Amino acid sequence: MNVVRPSVALCLLLCGVVGASAQDPTMAPPKVLVIQREWVKPGKGGSLHEKSESAFVQAMAAAKEPNHYLAATSLSGYSRALFFVGYDSFAAWEKDNQSVDANPTLSAALDSAMVADGDLLSGYDASAWALRPDLSLRSASVDIGHSRYFEINRFVVKPGHEKEWEELVKLYMKGYEKASPVAHWTTFESIYGADNGGVFIAFTPMKSLSEVDGAMADGPKFEAALSAAELTKLRELNASCLQSAQTNLVQFSPKMSYPRDEWVKADPAYWAPK
């Protein structure tokens, strides 16, 4: 994990939330989400990368860093590792960076870990995202402690078509509110990074990939929940406002994560493997 001074993690979405109790593994999504991506060289993933990343985890734990992060690895697309950290504001992100910089022992440990980790990587980038609660469905609380996967939908909106995009998402929200009592996602808008400007990502945490089967079965119910005129509008908006759309799956990696206490308490065998 190349540290963007400091800890990093994907929280859908959902990771570093403010106000969750130590006993409750559910939490609201963060207002600001920092995502780091590491592009892993062929043959350098798996246990090799886990061992390298463990140096970051050990450094953070030794320093008792208050901000935790979630790591995940790709099940589709290019071989990569993702690290997510959530903040209540950009000012909180700044404060976290300053805290790490002010700790010479932690900074030195992270710098050393980055040297070893860099040998396994072919590339790296970082981005910052802002929560869009108006474009999210049933995302008030998320049980990361018992989740194992994220489905990540990435949308690129054509310049000048943001209002159409918002209308499109709200049509989907209307349909799925009627069609499925369990459909949910959390949407973030890109603010900083190589992929910002009209880029949105929607996270859906899942406890099992069987939830993908259930979501596919909800397709006909979704169509039935909207009127013929709304379905026509849906297709028109898809064509007019979207430049591209892509969906991928990632799997959580406990050994590369610096998990919150409530996640560990929710499932110690998973989050704190021996």
- Write out pLDDT tens, residues 35-72: 999 999 999 999 999 999 999 999 999 999 998 999 99
CA distances from 253 to 82, 110, 182, 197, 217 (A): 9, 19, 25, 29, 28
pLDDT at 141 (0 to 100): 86
Cα–Cα distance, 121 to 141 (Å, whole number): 34
Mean pLDDT computed over 242-259: 97
Which of 88, 73, 84 has its CA nearest to residue 19?
88
Cα–Cα distance, 129 to 1 (Å, whole number): 19
Cα–Cα distance, 33 to 27 (Å, whole number): 14
18 pLDDT tier (thresholds 50, 70, 90): very low
Cα–Cα distance, 104 to 189 (Å, whole number): 34
pLDDT of 23 higher than 50: no
pLDDT at 24 (0 to 100): 53
pLDDT at 262 (0 to 100): 92
Show the domains of the chain with their CATH numbers.
1-264 (3.30.70.100)
150 pLDDT tier (thresholds 50, 70, 90): very high
pLDDT of 4 higher than 50: no
- Write out pLDDT tens, residues 86-144: 999 999 999 999 999 999 999 999 999 999 999 999 999 999 999 999 999 999 888 99
Cα–Cα distance, 152 to 167 (Å, whole number): 20
Amino acid at residue number 31: K
Nearby residues of 207 by Cβ (< 8 Å), 6 or more positions away: 143, 146, 147, 148, 149
Identify the bridge partners of residue 156 per DSSP, sorted by sequence position: 199, 244
pLDDT at 171 (0 to 100): 97
What does the mean pLDDT of the chain come to?
89
Mean pLDDT computed over 249-254: 98
pLDDT at 273 (0 to 100): 82
6 pLDDT tier (thresholds 50, 70, 90): very low
pLDDT at 131 (0 to 100): 97
Tokens of 19: 């106000």
Total-model pTM: 0.88
16 pLDDT tier (thresholds 50, 70, 90): very low
Weakest-pLDDT range from 1-10, 136-145, 146-155: 1-10
Contact 54, 255 (CB under 8 A): yes
% of residues, the chain, pLDDT over 90: 84
pLDDT at 25 (0 to 100): 59
- Write out pLDDT tens, residues 200-238: 999 999 999 999 999 999 999 999 999 999 999 999 999
